C-alpha cells in the first residue's frame, strides 16, 4: 500500500463502466491508464468513470474523477471513437496551390477526446505524461509506402534501384496489387526479400459489396503466399476503407491496415478486433502530376509541408507514392524526397508491419508515476511489461511548454526525475492545417448512377456475375462496354492500355 504522502498521478484509473473504446484510444495515445479492480489500494489522483457510478472515488481512493461523458464533445457518442476508424471519407484541400482530394480517415474525434482529457489533467498543474509514438534516441519515425498498382516493370525496377542506392529499405513497404503483379513474370523476384504486403488483387475497394472485398483480399493473399511473401498488412486501393475490411483481414490474421490519414498525419489506432490502423500522410506525387505539375521542387515541397505538420504534432512521417508511371518516370522526385526526409532529424526507418508490432508491445507497458508531497517537483516512474520492447520506448513528461524524455528499457525499471529546465526540450508548436472540405460526388444523373453502382473498371468481369443487383448491373455494363472503352486509350502513351481511368492511390 502506498503511504499517505505518496500519490499516484498515473495511471489514470478507469472505472468498470468506462467504455473499452475509450480505453483503447487512450492506450494508443500512450497515456498510462489502468482498469480499477476490486481490492486495489493506494491513492490515485485521477480516475475516469461513468456519471452514474457515484461511489467510484470512495471505492478506489481517487481524488479527481472525470466522467467519460465529459470527454465526448457535443452531441457525439462514444461509438464515434470506433466509427471514425471504420470508414474513410472523401475530403479536398490545397497543398502547395494544388487541390488534392482523397479518401482519408480523419482522427478529429479521437483527437478532441484526448485534448479534453489533457486539459483536465493540466488544469490541476499536473504534467501530461505519455509513451512516445517512436523509440528512444529518435526524433521521429519514417516509412515510405510504395503502392504498385499497374503492371509497369521498368518503373517498378527504377524505383527499387533508387531505394537500394539511397539505403532506406528498412523504412520501405511495398503494397502489391497482385493482379498487376501476375502480368509481370519478374515481379516477385524483383521484390523478393523486401517488405511486401497486400494492395488487393484488383485495384478497387467496394463501397457496399463485402463479398467482393473478401474475394479481393483472399486472391491477393493466395498470390502473395504462393510467391513466398508473408503478408500481415493490407492497404485498400484508393485509400478507401469500408467497415467490412477489418473483419476480412482478421480472418486472415493480418495485423494492420494502412489507408490514408489526416492532413497532418495520424497516430496509429487499434480497432475492436485488434487490428492496427497505420495511415500514410495523404499527399502523393500523383496529385501534382495530374494537375500538370511535374517539377520536383513543387512536388517535394508538397510532401515536406505535410510532413512538417505531422512532425509539429508528434506524428509519424509515413509517406506514400506510386512507382508506375509516376515516381518510376520522375526519379529525381523520389531521390529528392528520400534525402529530404533527413531534414527532420534522426528518424527511425521501419517497415509498417515491424512498426505495428513495436507499437502493440509499447501499448502493453504499464506505467506508474507517483509524486511525494514531501518532495515537490520530483516524480518517480516505474514501468513493467511481460516482455521487452525493442527498440526501447521513451516516456515523455510534458509540463509548461517543456518536454523531458525518460528511456523506458527492459521488462521493468524505475527512474526519478526533477522537472527543471535542464534535460528538457521545448514542445513543438503545431503548424496550421489547410482548410478542407467534403469532396462530394456530383449530383448530375451520371454521377448518381456511378455512385449507386460504385462504378469502376478494375474488378475482373468474371467476378461481377451473380450476387447483389448492383454487382450484376455493373457486370452487364462492363461486359458490353469494356472493349470499346479500352480502345479509346490504345494510341495513347499515357494512360496506357492497362490504365483504367480510376485514380491510383
Ligand atoms: Zn493503389
Domain CATH number, residue 304: 3.20.20.370
Same domain, 171 and 293: yes
Ligand 1 centroid–CA 99 distance in Å is 19
Beta strands in 326-432, from DSSP E residues, in sequence order: 347-349, 366-372, 378-384, 394-399, 402-407, 412-418, 425-426
Angle, vertex CA 53, rays to CA 363 and CA 28, nearest 5: 15
Q: Report yes or no on 451 lying in a domain.
A: no
Q: What is the pLDDT of residues 373-414, one digit of tens each?
A: 788 788 999 999 999 999 999 999 999 999 999 999 999 999
Average pLDDT (41-60) is 90
Ligand 1 centroid–CA 397 distance in Å is 39
HEC readout, 323-341: HHHHHCCCHHHHHHHHHHH
Among 164, 95, 54, 44, which Cα is nearest to 310's?
95
Same domain, 374 and 339: no
Report how far residue 353's alpha carbon sits from residue 275's, in angstroms, rounded to the nearest whole number.
11
- Which of these three, 426, 444, 461, is where a domain ends? 426
- Which of these three, 426, 444, 474, is where a domain ends? 426
Same domain, 286 and 378: no
Q: Report yes or no on 454 lying in a domain.
A: no
Residue 495 has pLDDT above 50, yes or no: no
- Dihedral angle of Cα 64, 67, 73, 75, to the nearest 10 degrees: -160
Report how far residue 84's alpha carbon sits from residue 330's, in angstroms, rounded to the nearest whole number.
35
Domains contained in the chain, number: 2
Same domain, 54 and 164: no
Same domain, 232 and 162: yes
Same domain, 159 and 31: no
pTM to 2 decimals? 0.94
Same domain, 351 and 371: no
Range of the domain at 264: 140-358
The pLDDT score that the predictor gives to residue 4 is: 66
Ligand 1 centroid–CA 149 distance in Å is 5
Ligand 1 centroid–CA 202 distance in Å is 9
Same domain, 299 and 272: yes
Same domain, 238 and 117: no
The pLDDT score that the predictor gives to residue 106 is: 95
Q: What is the pLDDT of residues 76-125, one digit of tens each?
A: 999 999 999 999 999 999 998 899 999 999 999 999 999 999 999 999 99
Ligand 1 centroid–CA 137 distance in Å is 33
Ligand 1 centroid–CA 504 distance in Å is 5
Same domain, 202 and 119: no
Ligand 1 centroid–CA 339 distance in Å is 24
Q: Report yes or no on 170 lying in a domain.
A: yes
Same domain, 273 and 417: no
Beta-strand relationship, 276-277 and 269-270: antiparallel
Whether 464 contacts 478, CB under 8 Å: yes
- Which of these three, 341, 358, 375, is where a domain ends? 358
Q: What is the pLDDT of residues 426-439, one digit of tens each?
A: 999 999 999 999 99
Same domain, 68 and 47: yes
Among 408, 411, 403, 404, which Cα is nearest to 381's?
408
Q: Report yes or no on 502 lying in a domain.
A: no
Ligand 1 centroid–CA 237 distance in Å is 5
Average pLDDT (207-234) is 98
Q: Report yes or no on 461 lying in a domain.
A: no
The pLDDT score that the predictor gives to residue 181 is: 97
The pLDDT score that the predictor gives to residue 430 is: 97
Amino acid at each position: 500500500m502506498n503511504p499517505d504522502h505518496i500519490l499516484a498521478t498515473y495511471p489514470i484509473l478507469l472505472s468498470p463502466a468506462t467504455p473499452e473504446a475509450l480505453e483503447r484510444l487512450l492506450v494508443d495515445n500512450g497515456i498510462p491508464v489502468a482498469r480499477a479492480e476490486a481490492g486495489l489500494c493506494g491513492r490515485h489522483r485521477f480516475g475516469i468513470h461513468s456519471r452514474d457510478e457515484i461511489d467510484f472515488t470512495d471505492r478506489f481512493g481517487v481524488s479527481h474523477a472525470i466522467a467519460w461523458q465529459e470527454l465526448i464533445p457535443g452531441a457525439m457518442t462514444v461509438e464515434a471513437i470506433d466509427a471514425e476508424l471504420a470508414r474513410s471519407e472523401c475530403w479536398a484541400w490545397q497543398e502547395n496551390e494544388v487541390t488534392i482530394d482523397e479518401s482519408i480517415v480523419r482522427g478529429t474525434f479521437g483527437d478532441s477526446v484526448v485534448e479534453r482529457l489533457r486539459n483536465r489533467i493540466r488544469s490541476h498543474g499536473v504534467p501530461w505524461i505519455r509513451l512516445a509514438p517512436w523509440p528512444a534516441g529518435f526524433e521521429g519515425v519514417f516509412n515510405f509506402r510504395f503502392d504498385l498498382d499497374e503492371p509497369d516493370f521498368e518503373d517498378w525496377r527504377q524505383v527499387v534501384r533508387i531505394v537500394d542506392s539511397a539505403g532506406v529499405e528498412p523504412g520501405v513497404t511495398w503494397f502489391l496489387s497482385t493482379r498487376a503483379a501476375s502480368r509481370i513474370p519478374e515481379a516477385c523476384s524483383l521484390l523478393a526479400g523486401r517488405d511486401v504486403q497486400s494492395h488487393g488483387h484488383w485495384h478497387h475497394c467496394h463501397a457496399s459489396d463485402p463479398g467482393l472485398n473478401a474475394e479481393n483480399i483472399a486472391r491477393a493473399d493466395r498470390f502473395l503466399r504462393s510467391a513466398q511473401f508473408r503478408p500481415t498488412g493490407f492497404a485498400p486501393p484508393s485509400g478507401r476503407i469500408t467497415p467490412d475490411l477489418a473483419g476480412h483481414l482478421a480472418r486472415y490474421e493480418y495485423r494492420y491496415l494502412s489507408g490514408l490519414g489526416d492532413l497532418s498525419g495520424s497516430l496509429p489506432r487499434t480497432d475492436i478486433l485488434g487490428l492496427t490502423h497505420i495511415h500514410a500522410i495523404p499527399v502523393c506525387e500523383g496529385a501534382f502530376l495530374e494537375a500538370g505539375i511535374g517539377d520536383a521542387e513543387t512536388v517535394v515541397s508538397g510532401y515536406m509541408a505535410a510532413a512538417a505538420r505531422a512532425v509539429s504534432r508528434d506524428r509519424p512521417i509515413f509517406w506514400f507514392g506510386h512507382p508506375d508511371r509516376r515516381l518510376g518516370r520522375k526519379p529525381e522526385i523520389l531521390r529528392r524526397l528520400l534525402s529530404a526526409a533527413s531534414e527532420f532529424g534522426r528518424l527511425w526507418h521501419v517497415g509498417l508491419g515491424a512498426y505495428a508490432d513495436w507499437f502493440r508491445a509499447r501499448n502493453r507497458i504499464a506505467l506508474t508515476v507517483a509524486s511525494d508531497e514531501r518532495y515537490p517537483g520530483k516524480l518517480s516512474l516505474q514501468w513493467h511489461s511481460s516482455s521487452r520492447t525493442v527498440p526501447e520506448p521513451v516516456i515523455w513528461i510534458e509540463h509548461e511548454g517543456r518536454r523531458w524524455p525518460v528511456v523506458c528499457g527492459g521488462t521493468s525499471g524505475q527512474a526519478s526525475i526533477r522537472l527543471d529546465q535542464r534535460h528538457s526540450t521545448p514542445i513543438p508548436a503545431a503548424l496550421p492545417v489547410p482548410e478542407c472540405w467534403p469532396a462530394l460526388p456530383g449530383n448530375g444523373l451520371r454521377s448518381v448512377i456511378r455512385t449507386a453502382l460504385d462504378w469502376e473498371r478494375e474488378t475482373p468481369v468474371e467476378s461481377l456475375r451473380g450476387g447483389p443487383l448492383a454487382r450484376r448491373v455493373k457486370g452487364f455494363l462492363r461486359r458490353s462496354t469494356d472493349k470499346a472503352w479500352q480502345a479509346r486509350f490504345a494510341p495513347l502513351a499515357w494512360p496506357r492500355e492497362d490504365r483504367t481511368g480510376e485514380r491510383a492511390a
